[in-house]
Amino acid sequence: MTFEMLKLAAASPEILVLAGACAILMVDVFKSQQGEGRALTYWLSLLVLLVGGWMTFSGFGENVGPALNGHFVKDALGDLLKIFIYLTAFTTFVYSRDYLQDRGLLKGEFFVLGLFAVLGMLVMVSAGSFLMLFLGLELLSLPLYAMVALDRDSGVATEAAMKYFVMGAIASGMLLYGMSMLYGATGSLDLLRVSEAVHRVMAGKAGQEQLVLIFGTIFIVVGVAFKLGAVPFHMWVPDVYQGSPTAVTLFLGTAPKLAAFAMLIRLLVGTLEPLVGQWQQMLAILAVLSMAIGNVVAISQTNLKRMLGYSTIAHVGFLLLGVLAGNPQGYGAALFYAITYSLMALGSFGMILLLSRVGFEADRIEDFKGLNDRSPWFAAMMAILMFSMAGVPPFVGFWAKWEVLRAVVNTGQMWIAIVAVGFSVIGAWYYLRVIWYMYFEKPYDTAPLVPAVDMGVMMSANGLALFYLGVFPSSLMAVCLMVWGVR
Amino acid sequence: MSLPLLSLVIWLPIFGAVAVLSLGEHRPVMVRRVAFGIAAATFILSLPLFTGFDSTSYAMQFVEDAPWIPTFGIRYSLGVDGISAPLILLTTLSTILVVLAGWESIQYRVSQYMAAFLVMEGVMNGAFAAMDAILFYVFWEGMLIPMFLIIGIWGGPRRIYATIKFFLYTFLGSVFMLVALIYLGYLTGSFNILKIQALDHLGLTAQVLIFIAFMLAFAVKVPMWPVHTWLPDAHVEAPTGGSVILAAIMLKMGGYGFLRLSLPITPDGSQLLSGLMIALSLIAVVYIGFVALVQQDMKKLIAYSSISHMGFVTLGTFAAFTALSMGSHNAAVLGVEGGVVQMVSHGFISGAMFLCVGVLYDRVHSRLISDYGGVANTMPIFATLMVLFAMANSGLPGTSGFVGEFMVILGAFQANVWYAFWAATSLILGAAYTLWMVKRVVFGPIGNDHVAALSDINNREFVILGVLALFVLLLGLWPAPLVDMMRESVSHLVDQIGHSKL
């Protein structure tokens, strides 16, 4: 084994983020910056994400094959997801700064843990073996547990962190158990080799080995469903979303979804494709239950973060529809859904941050009352976000739904499409309620809304991006399909 | 290459709305003028759709076509035929009147109000002009957003209930249409509506299911009994302009949808269920006519009268199947034509009636019939116009209300005498509820001090109502231009529905 064979260059953005995170840790420790809003840490973190994103972008789609002895895969799918992981993490940091500052939570830990979590996501997305996948997953999860408990004096935050940790541990356990079964049946940790072995076993006669594979698949699906927050493995989602400081909710509600989606794809589609008949049915159950529970329970929520937590569950159900279509069109649709969802979630939690100020969390739906009187512009942005989440054209959420519906309709699973649109009507109600409060009610306080410049610009860009992508969805759709080789 | 007229009538108002919004809330006078200018310019731009229309052809005209989402073969294709062109003209005209109607009565957030109506205009034009199924759907659903805000922000006391009911009802109806459109796109390999219409083979089960999916969308919009209950709420709570647009244009979307999508795409499914549709239409005409009779609230009365009149549209449309099965192509054409004429005419009349109520409401702030009486004594000019519209609403010959209803009844008569019989009761019921309302509101001794203090309509209001009166009479006395315009398109449509796809 020579050093060249490792092809370290394929992982250069990851190496940069690792080095950057370590350096920022040191800078933060040795440069006291309490007074100036941790400007150095903040800007350095943004710079690391920016450079990492640029490196990934400039090497987009260069397929260098398995690197690091097959543990690391660099392909177009991974690059696309990574670019959006950088983007969402970047936006999260911009949105979070003032919120954390106001609450005395603006510590270097937030940014360092965030960067390590980003590194974990990048590793997950590029995982070429079970080992790497698990490593990435844990590298993502552990910083997140700590971030949820960032506000250590808050009871709810601690409770949320505890729940998240226990549930996350169970999920990891399930996943590991499934992986070990697959390892037992195939004798390899390398996803490519596992895939070959699975093909061989499934092509042969039914027997013990196939049974083990199927059981392994079940545990893998359960583990992934935990991470995605699909019903019935969703119990942690509302509590963690509500309990965490909003900035952390924003972080864990966006980019990790992309990473979890990558895990789902790498395992089920990349490795266990011959078992599609099995996992398709499992995903169908997960999807329908998620859309049902997510949408129905969200109706009765009064806390916006909790409502968005349930809405996440419903969106995960929709996303799974694309995957269970079981063809590249469907995977492309699910990819588009995951990306656009992360943009929508980013904006929605970002709006909560934008409205909040010292001593005021703005996380109840009522807090949005009369926003149109206080700031027509940001009310319009929030309206775009909500209509987009509800799937009303001409916003991008519509196209996300449209594409997954098309995928399931074209594969003849008409009933599931009808169930899906039915629940999306139920879902429309609670998004409409936010718009109702913003536009049809009088505000509690008429203080004008003046966000920091960078935040205001970012928020506007976020909302307008959803509008732009709603009118011109073509290019992003094409890219999402291209990574699957569909043109 | 001439101007892309259809794109202009879609996008000019939408970009105009952005301009109006950017003027802000502190310059209401300027906002009103700019909004009026944009609406007027759009109307002028839409005129060539009438003057330059080639009525000897059923083919799509003023066609535009460009790739939009090439990955999925979705195109930005526009075009109008004899059915959609008049509806676009109706839209552009109504928007001017609505902008004028909100001139003084809207003081809260003027620029958002005007912008909402301009966006609404563009989007509705888009829905009428779209020749791509997905483009159509985008416009169709996009329409909900401005109307949701219009009712919710500027509406009456129960506006929130009304607007959410409106949104969810129509959203529920439409999503199943989306699934059907995706499926049809999959079968056809294209989302072009003409190509989908030309689909050769479609099994009966598929046709029936697709028809039902379409029906949910269109029947809610028309609205047909029993999915009409959102309409009285929405109409009553909406501001005058909102009611006018709802009644004059949005309801026509449903009728238009039946003609553009349901009938040509699923002729056999429509044939199979036409009996049900006719029954529902007749229930709307008769039963809702009775319901209108007992209303205390003027707006609610007109809302119910709208449902009853829209029953004629669906009756004329679906009676065509009975007529065709008896071999009478002409009767089928007559019925469908009557339906379209009724749509246009109802656009004028119901819009005018809502504007009349708006005029009274602006002065007295009540919509209850019992709060008025003897308005003719203090507002003679207004009373004259209102009586004219009331006569038109009850189908007096010489007004546009008569033409459509008469054509539908004639068509239905040749299909089945009983259809015509029940439909004709509307002429009695319509006269009863409209004229009784007019009697209680306009005539008699002055009812109370509010009425005694009324001042007659000003020039602005006179222009709005006068224009509508002109069109009501013009269409009533000389409907030929409109009927000629649509003849070929309707005749082609009847050919299409007579051609089985089994």
pLDDT at A4: 53
CB contact under 8 A, B182 and A481: no
How close A474 gets to chain B, by Cα (Å)? 5
Sign of the alpha-carbon dihedral angle for A428, A431, A433, A438 = negative
Annotate B393-431 with DSSP letters as a single string: HTT-TTSHHHHHHHHHHHHHHHH-HHHHHHHHHHHHHHH
Q: Greatest CA separation found in chain A?
A: 72
Interface of B with A (CB under 8 A): 25, 68-72, 109, 112, 134, 137-138, 141-142, 144-145, 148-149, 152-153, 159-160, 163-164, 167-168, 171-172, 175-176, 178-179, 182-183, 185-186
How close B46 gets to chain A, by Cα (Å)? 24
pLDDT at A466: 92
Rounded-to-integer distance, Cα B465 and Cα B469, Å:
6
Residue A10 token pair: 């394929």
The residues, ordered by sequence, that sit 6+ positions from A254 with a Cβ below 8 Å of its Cβ are A88, A92, A342, A345, A346, A349
* Nearest alpha-carbon partner for B161 in B228, B242, B237: B237
pLDDT at A374: 85
CB contact under 8 A, A477 and B71: yes
The residues, ordered by sequence, that sit 6+ positions from A7 with a Cβ below 8 Å of its Cβ are A64, A65, A67, A68, A72
Rounded-to-integer distance, Cα A216 and Cα A275, Å:
11
Rounded-to-integer distance, Cα B108 and Cα A444, Å:
18
pLDDT at A311: 92
List the single residue in A392, A422, A436 with the smallest CB-CB distance to B164: A436
Element (H, E) at B106: none
Alpha-carbon B33 to chain mean position: 26
- The low-confidence residues of chain B, meaning pLDDT below 70, are 1
List the single residue in B25, B142, B178 with the smallest CB-CB distance to A394: B142
Q: Which residue has the tokens 């449309």?
A: B317
pLDDT at A62 > cutoff 80: no
| Per-residue pLDDT tens over the stretch B191-226 | 899 888 888 888 888 889 999 999 999 999 888 888
Q: Which residue of A has its CA nearest to B156?
A: A440
The residues, ordered by sequence, that sit 6+ positions from A154 with a Cβ below 8 Å of its Cβ are A243, A245
Torsion of CA A193, A194, A197, A202, to 10 degrees: -150
Q: Mutating which of A416, A419, A425, A441 best tests the B interface, going by the most B Cβ atoms within 10 A?
A: A425
Residue B105 token pair: 């009565």
The residues, ordered by sequence, that sit 6+ positions from B333 with a Cβ below 8 Å of its Cβ are B320, B411, B487, B490, B491, B494
Both ends of chain A: CA-CA distance in Å? 38
Is residue B58 exposed (0-12), middle (13-18) or buried (19+ Cβ within 10 Å)?
buried
Q: List, in sequence order, the alpha helices (H) in A204-245.
A: 208-228, 236-243
Query: Is A387 in CB contact (< 8 Å) with chain B?
Result: yes
pLDDT at A125 > cutoff 50: yes
Average pLDDT over chain A, rounded to whole?
88
Rounded-to-integer distance, Cα B66 and Cα B60, Å:
15
pLDDT at A59 > cutoff 90: no
Q: Which amino acid is at B488?
A: E
Rounded-to-integer distance, Cα A481 and Cα A329, Å:
7
How close B261 gets to chain A, by Cα (Å)? 19
CB contact under 8 A, A418 and B176: yes
pLDDT category at A97 given cuts 50, 70, 90 is: confident
Q: Which residue has the tokens 């609610």?
A: B300
Q: Which residue has the tokens 């700590």?
A: A146
Rounded-to-integer distance, Cα B254 and Cα B135, Å:
16
Asked if omega into B239 is within 30° of 0 (cis), the reply is no
Interior/surface letters B387-403, b for 16+ CB within 10 angstroms, e for the rest: bbbbbbbbbbeebbbbb
pLDDT category at A342 given cuts 50, 70, 90 is: very high
Torsion of CA A35, A40, A41, A47, to 10 degrees: 150
Q: Which residue of B has its CA nearest to A429?
A: B168
Q: Mutating which of A365, A398, A402 best tests the B interface, going by the most B Cβ atoms within 10 A?
A: A402
pLDDT at A339 > cutoff 90: yes
Rounded-to-integer distance, Cα A224 and Cα B145, Å:
36
**Residues of chain A found within 8 Å of residue B72, distances taken between Cβ atoms:** 403, 406, 477
pLDDT category at A54 given cuts 50, 70, 90 is: very high
List the single residue in A393, A425, A440 with the smallest CB-CB distance to B138: A393
pLDDT at A3 > cutoff 60: no
Query: Is A279 in CB contact (< 8 Å) with chain B?
Result: no
CB contact under 8 A, B112 and A376: yes
Q: Which amino acid is at B94?
A: S
Query: Is A415 in CB contact (< 8 Å) with chain B?
Result: no
Neighbours of B498 (CB within 10 A): 16
| Per-residue pLDDT tens over the stretch A219-247 | 999 999 998 988 888 889 999 999 899 99
pLDDT category at A1 given cuts 50, 70, 90 is: very low
Question: Is B254 within 8 Å of B220 (Cβ atoms)?
Answer: yes
CB contact under 8 A, B186 and A439: no
Rounded-to-integer distance, Cα B175 and Cα B141, Å:
9
CB contact under 8 A, A432 and B168: yes
Question: Is B448 within 8 Å of B373 (Cβ atoms)?
Answer: yes
pLDDT at A37: 62
pLDDT at A213 > cutoff 70: yes
Alpha-carbon B126 to chain mean position: 14
How close B143 gets to chain A, by Cα (Å)? 9
Residue A115 token pair: 């960067």
